[in-house]
């Protein structure tokens, strides 16, 4: 056991003391933190002002006027107010969490203002109903002078169909066409669509003898924010966290497992290619060597996991949202880390021992990576419907089970506890089989050189030893 621990200690220090590890694992999160900190401040810069003319060819003669009302500065201000209110409703939980942080609410307001940008200055230009559309469109293609906003430049053309207000023939209404200048701000395009829709609907209601403001009152129902009721009381449902939490947990698991597994593969291939493995095997058995390496790299994985999880907890703490973390989930994260890591590490050790250089490992790695990526691919459907037949079935197929069950446990409707424990048992059985297989391949493969083996060769080695 002492020798195994010596191997583990060397494996750990040889990995974490490298520039690659320090840069990849420590510097990358630091860069992310810096970007996250500075991004809102960088976004605080005023977006370019939008100015210009929107031309309309209105064959019905009844759309241009209500549409003009949507292009006034007041209409833009009202639309902005509506957007601000929607954002406020969606971010209620975050605002409440940061209420104790000085300047945080102001920072959010600033970010919202920045995202909405300065009010556009748009002038509506009503063209004759018989205007030539092609000629009208040609003005859109003119390049802007000096790249400066030009209040007289045509930026969009609307052609309202003759039957947009009164149905033609079989009771079907027509619509409109919108042509815009290249690279026009997408928020303005959305605003034009909304305005045209409202203007056409208002014109249709008028034509049908109805009062548009009454129709608006009858059809508007304010969407409230749902509130989650728990034993501790009720609170606004944090939809963002509901989606992010499972992804964060699975991400943590995948990053730590894959990182340490890759290091294990690399170090095994290095020991084999530099032939140092024969010296090691004269001092310790192949089983001791493999166990030591796996334990050493597990410690590396735990460092990665601890580091990223620590950053996450710190972020939750600073937003006073630590309550979303159930201690049981952290326990399960550790349990499934161990199971997922041992499964992955066993495969990496077997592959590392059977090839002579990293290039040769690629073909054997493909099926393993596919297995690991399945939970990522199925993240959305599983977290949306964590109790579907597919989610339940994948919870009992190791090594995928370790990721899937954690995803389900962190979802909005977690499975019953017995399913989690059953997945632990299945995961442990999977680990046993994989370690047994890896141990056999490791012993034979370490001293085999020559053409890279196939999966069939590995199975033959396992039966041979």
Partner 1 sequence: MPDAVVLKNLTKTFGETVAVRGLDLVVPQGALYGVIGPNGAGKTTTIRMILSILFPDSGELQVLGHRSALEAKDRIGYLPEERGLYKKMRVAEFLLYLARLKGMDGAGLPRQVDAWLDRVGLLGAARKRCEELSKGMQQKAQFIAAVIHRPDLLILDEPFSGLDPVNQRLLRDLVLEEHRRGATILFSTHIMVQAEQLCDHVVMIHRGEKVLDQPLSTIGSSFDPRSILFEPLDPAADVSVLHHLPGVRGVAREGSAWDVALSETAEAGEVLKAIVTTITPARIEVRRPTLEDVFVGIVAGTGAGAGSAALRQALRDEDAQEVGR
Residues in contact with partner 1 by CB under 8 A are 3, 6-7, 10, 14, 18, 270-271, 274-285, 447, 465
Nearer to partner 1, 147 or 463 (CB): 463
Residue 453 token pair: 């083996």
Shortest distance (Å) from residue 363 CB to partner 1? 21
Nearer to partner 1, 285 or 362 (CB): 285
Whether 274 and 240 have beta carbons less than 8 Å apart is answered as no
Whether 465 and 443 have beta carbons less than 8 Å apart is answered as yes
Shortest distance (Å) from residue 262 CB to partner 1? 17
Q: Say how far apart CA 203 and CA 367 lie, in whole Å.
A: 61
Strand partners, 51: 121
Nearer to partner 1, 239 or 270 (CB): 270
Nearer to partner 1, 292 or 427 (CB): 292
Within 10 Å of residue 191's Cβ, how many Cβ atoms? 20
Nearer to partner 1, 7 or 351 (CB): 7
Nearer to partner 1, 26 or 279 (CB): 279
Strand partners, 234: 229
The backbone torsions φ and ψ at residue 236, rounded to the nearest 5 degrees and listed phi first, read -60, 135
Nearer to partner 1, 3 or 84 (CB): 3
CA separation (Å) from 4 to 7, 300, 354? 5, 16, 21
CA separation (Å) from 116 to 119, 201, 279? 8, 26, 66
Q: Say how far apart CA 199 and CA 30 lie, in whole Å.
A: 50
Residue 403 token pair: 């990721």
- Pinpoint the alpha helices (H) of 378-465: 379-384, 389-394, 400-409, 417-445, 455-464
Of residues 63, 73, 65, 56, the one with CA closest to residue 154: 56
Shortest distance (Å) from residue 432 CB to partner 1? 23
Shortest distance (Å) from residue 350 CB to partner 1? 18
DSSP string, 143-173: PPGGGS--TTSEEEEEEE-TTSSS-BTTTB-
Whether 154 and 52 have beta carbons less than 8 Å apart is answered as yes
Residue 340 token pair: 């997922």
Whether 120 and 50 have beta carbons less than 8 Å apart is answered as yes
Q: Are strands 154-160 and 176-180 parallel, antiparallel or unpaired?
A: antiparallel
Whether 342 and 431 have beta carbons less than 8 Å apart is answered as yes
Nearer to partner 1, 276 or 328 (CB): 276
CB neighbours of 250 closer than 8 A, spacing ≥ 6? 375, 376, 379, 403, 406, 407, 410
Shortest distance (Å) from residue 90 CB to partner 1? 51
CB neighbours of 154 closer than 8 A, spacing ≥ 6? 52, 53, 54, 55, 125, 139, 140, 142, 181
What are the DSSP E strand ranges found in 208-290? 227-230, 233-236
Nearer to partner 1, 256 or 291 (CB): 291
Nearer to partner 1, 88 or 281 (CB): 281
| Residue labelled with tokens 């943590």 | 252
Nearer to partner 1, 20 or 167 (CB): 20
Shortest distance (Å) from residue 360 CB to partner 1? 18
């Amino acid at each position: 056991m002492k020798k195994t621990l010596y191997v583990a200690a060397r494996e750990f220090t040889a990995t974490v003391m490298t520039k690659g590890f320090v840069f990849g694992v420590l510097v990358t999160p630091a860069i992310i933190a810096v970007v996250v900190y500075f991004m809102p401040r960088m976004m605080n810069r005023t977006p370019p002002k939008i100015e210009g003319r929107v031309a309309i060819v209105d064959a019905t003669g009844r759309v241009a006027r209500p549409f003009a009302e949507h292009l006034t500065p007041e209409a833009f201000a009202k639309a902005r107010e509506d957007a601000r209110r929607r954002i406020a409703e969606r971010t209620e939980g975050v605002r409440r969490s940061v209420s104790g942080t000085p300047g945080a609410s102001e920072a959010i307001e600033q970010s919202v203002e920045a995202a909405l940008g300065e009010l556009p200055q748009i002038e509506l230009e009503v063209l004759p109903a018989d205007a030539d559309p092609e000629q009208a469109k040609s003005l859109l293609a003119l390049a802007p002078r000096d790249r400066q906003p030009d209040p007289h430049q045509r930026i969009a053309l609307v052609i309202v169909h003759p039957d947009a207000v009164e149905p033609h023939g079989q009771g079907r209404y027509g619509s409109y066409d919108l042509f815009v200048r290249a690279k026009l701000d997408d928020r303005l395009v959305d605003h034009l669509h909304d305005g045209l829709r409202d203007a056409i609907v208002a014109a249709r209601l008028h034509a049908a003898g109805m009062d548009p403001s009454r129709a608006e009152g009858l059809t508007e129902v304010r969407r409230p924010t749902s509130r989650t009721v728990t034993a501790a009381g009720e609170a606004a449902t944090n939809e963002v966290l509901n989606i992010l939490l499972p992804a964060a947990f699975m991400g943590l698991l995948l990053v730590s497992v894959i990182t340490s597994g890759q290091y294990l593969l690399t170090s095994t291939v290095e020991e084999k290619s530099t032939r140092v493995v024969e010296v090691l095997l004269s001092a310790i058995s192949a089983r001791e060597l493999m166990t030591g390496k796996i334990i050493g790299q597990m410690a590396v994985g735990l460092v990665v996991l601890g580091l990223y999880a620590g950053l996450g907890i710190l972020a939750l703490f600073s937003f006073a949202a630590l309550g979303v973390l159930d201690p049981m989930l952290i326990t399960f994260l550790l349990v499934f880390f161990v199971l997922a890591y041992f499964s992955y590490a066993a495969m990496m050790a077997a592959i590392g021992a059977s090839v002579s250089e990293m290039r040769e490992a690629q073909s054997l790695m493909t099926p393993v990576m596919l297995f690991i990526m399945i939970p990522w691919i199925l993240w959305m459907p599983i977290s949306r419907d964590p109790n579907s037949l597919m989610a339940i079935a994948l919870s009992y197929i190791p090594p995928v089970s370790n990721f899937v069950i954690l995803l389900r446990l962190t979802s909005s409707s977690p499975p019953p506890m017995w399913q989690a424990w059953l997945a632990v048992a299945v995961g442990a059985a999977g680990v046993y089989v994989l370690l047994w297989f890896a141990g056999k391949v490791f012993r034979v493969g370490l001293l085999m050189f020559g053409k890279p083996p196939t999966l069939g060769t590995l199975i033959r080695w396992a039966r041979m030893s």
